[in-house]
Structure 1
Amino acid sequence: MQLPKLTGSVLSGLHCFLIAADQMSFTRAAEILCLTQSAVSHKIKNLEDSLGVQLFIRQPRKLLLTEEGKRLKAVVAQNFGDIAHELRDLKTLELSGDFNVSVPPTFAQTWLLPRLKHFIDKYPALRFHLRTRNDLVDFQTESFDCAIYFGHGKYAGLHSEKLMDESMVPVCSPQYAQEYYLHNNPDLLINCMLLHDAAPWARAGRNDEWQYWAQTNGIQLPENSCTFDRADLALQAAENGLGIAMGRHSFVDQQLKDGRLVVPFDMAVQSPLSYYVVCRQDATISPRIKAFQEWLHSEIAEF
């Protein structure tokens, strides 16, 4: 496929095409671009005419990419991502401007937020934008400077720097431990209600954390369970006496100190996963990311 002269119309059409191909809907693309559906359809048709190829197979209530469309989407996503990051870096080479970070929800709530004021006070010219999610960021098409992942640390085409390891241990309310005679009796776990974080990390199974802990310790798990889409909800349910949850050290430190949660049997295991700061390979020299990493390491050293 040979691209004609890159006029403003063609560039506008390529951007419109990328949004439509990502959404697989002219209607949703129109909403994102603040255009009418007919305007989006017109831009795509003009682009197809300029290229001399069909990019979409238009079916009733459904769009499909042609092979040419798939190829073009891959190229445009890569290059538009590069342009967006370069433009932002040109504007914010100093420690100022917008700084966009993706963080797992419970890690953000229980560990990062109580410390975040220290970072913002240290770099007041940065406008910090925090977004929480368990799934991985698409750094080619999404405007994130970096992300914190809980995982194995290997992400194709990306740079990752280890922050800290994690350990995990079952936790429950003091009353629940007493009611089920759990203190130093891990075999009685079979009588309990298990509280699961159904999404402890990207692409995890709903009971992966409990299964790993049980296999490591040779403990049989009960059938009764409740699942939640965030670890903090499972921990809050445990605090309210609903059952027993798997607590990561970074999540339950304060609740254990306050006595809101207890460890009925001290059988902590080292998690197979750790926390990492992840960014594009070409963003490792970013002053903002370097400052954020250094601050994170200093906070972890005091944790």
Structure 2
Amino acid sequence: MQLPRLTGSILSGLHCFLIAADQMSFTRAAEILCLTQSAVSHKIKNLEEALGVTLFIRQPRRLSLTDDGKRLKEVVAQNFGDLANELRELRTQELCGDLNISVPPTFAQRWLLPRLKRFIDKYPSLRIHLRTRNELVDFQTESFDCAIYFGNGKHSGLHVVKLMDESMMPVCSHDYAKRHHLYGNPANLTACMLLHDAAPWAKAGRNDEWQYWAQQNGVLLPDGTGCTFDRADLSLQAAERGIGVAMGRASFIAEQLESGRLVAPFTLSVPSPLTYYLVCRKEMATSPRIKAFIDWLEEMKKVS
């Protein structure tokens, strides 16, 4: 038997032959393949002509394999089975294994963690390893697959995907706002305790968020007063407890505003100069695991 070049027609015919040989019926093969009985018969005939051999002995209401048919069935079954296993293994590898992610602490707690179960449910074979930090990752020496940064998106030599913009506004408890007459009066911030995230992004100063907001709105801030925290969620918790006024990012405070645990005493929200990005090594940009994570982040952004 001389095997011709494996064209699409030949491969389709081999698949059809294997089903028919398993079922020993063109009619049942047609049902499995969602074809007509005549279409199956035609595919088998074309295959036989292409191979130059007879594969089936056709008798009334009965099929049997020729010796060549038996040989071909054994070879095709083994190789199609190997191919199916390889394809299954490739697909499994795409969505299993370890995914090591670096995330800013408050973003992890306030935005990512409440949604993470949906990702785990969607890709149960992926093992997520989440580590929180504000510092940038050294992808040459550290074993992270990807990182989420709050920054300007300029990372030479890395693959960068913009995730979402951010906005910021002062927030505090309702009682604190009333006590300091803050509603509609941003000038009264001069008499308030300001709560600072000391590291809102990499290499940031402790006053950077507040100063940026104040400059955008022409507000004078008190000099040298306030409490600093190394995580934005701690400053927000302090604001909930009436300690002072924190700079809130919209991504972090929606639930607290809705529940009334925090209030925005004046409608002076400003777009943040920085944005959330996912960053990874360029050679990892096509990794199915990272692509699945990016696609899921985009999906969550739309439903948030």
State the alpha-carbon separation in 2 of the partners of residues 265 and 106 from structure 1.
23
TM-score, normalised via structure 1 length: 0.69
Q: 1:41-56 to 2 correspondence within 5 Å? A: none
Corresponding letter in the other structure for 2:239? A
* 1:175 paired to 2:150: no
Contact 1:149 / 1:277 at 8 angstroms: preserved in 2?
Answer: yes
Q: Superposition pairs for residues 105-116 of structure 1, below 5 Å?
A: 105-116=105-116
Q: Which amino acid aligns with 1:124?
A: P
Higher Cα radius of gyration? 2
- Is residue 199 from structure 1 mapped to residue 167 from structure 2 by the alignment? no
Amino acid at match of 1:198: A
Q: Show the 5 A alignment for 1:191-230.
A: 191-223=191-223, 224-230=225-231
Q: Does 1:282 align with 2:283?
A: yes
Task: Please say if residues 93 and 286 of structure 1, whose CA atoms lie closer than 8 Å, have aligned partners that are also in contact.
Answer: no
- Alignment of structure 1 residues 119-134 onto 2, 5 Å: 119-134=119-134
Corresponding letter in the other structure for 1:226: C
* 2:237 match: 236
Partner of 2:186: 186
**Letter aligned with residue 230 of structure 1:** R
1:80-121 deviation digits (Å, cap 9, x = unpaired): xxxxxxxxxx9x842101110000000000000000000000
Instruction: Report deviation, 1:122.
Output: 0.2
The equivalent residue for 1:80 is none
How many angstroms apart in 2 are the aligned matches of 1:159 and 1:225?
A: 38
5+ long unaligned stretches in structure 1: 1-89
Cross-structure match for 1:252: 253
Q: Is the 8 A contact 1:214 1:220 kept in 2?
A: yes
Letter in 2 for 1:159: H
Q: Which amino acid aligns with 1:294?
A: D
- Structure 2, unmatched stretches of 5+, are 1-89
Determine what percentage of the aligned residue pairs are the same residue.
Answer: 69
C-alpha distance after superposition, 1:150-183 (max 9, x if no partner): 0000101111100000000000000000000000
The answer on 1:267 being equivalent to 2:272 is no
- Give me the whole-angstrom Cα distance separating, in 2, the residues matched to 1:207 and 1:296: 30
Cα distance in 2, alignment partners of residues 185 and 141 from structure 1: 50
Residue 95 of structure 1 is matched in structure 2 by 95
Structure 2 SS opposite 1:182: coil
Q: How does 1:1-150 map to 2 (within 5 A)?
A: 93-150=93-150
1:33-60 per-residue CA deviation (whole Å, 9 max, x = no partner) reads: xxxxxxxxxxxxxxxxxxxxxxxxxxxx
Number of residue-to-residue matches in the alignment: 214
Separation (CA, whole Å) in 2 of partners of 1:99 and 1:267: 39
Residue 209 of structure 1, CA deviation:
0.3
Farther-moved stretch of structure 1 (283-292 vs 222-231):
222-231
Report the residue type matching 2:120 in the other structure.
I
Q: Given residue 139 of structure 1, which amino acid in structure 2 is its aligned partner?
A: F
Q: Distance in 1 between matches of 2:190 and 2:259?
A: 27
Alignment-derived partner of residue 155 in structure 2 = 155
After superposition, the CA RMSD in angstroms is 1.3
CA-CA distance at 1:125 after TM superposition: 0.4
Distance, in Å, in 1 between the alignment partners of 2:222 and 2:239 is 16
Counterpart amino acid of 2:192?
Answer: C
Structure 1 segments (4+ residues) deviating >4 Å = none
- Using the size of structure 2 for normalisation, the TM-score is 0.69
Structure 1: distance between partners of 2:222 and 2:251: 26
Aligned with 1:272: secondary structure? coil
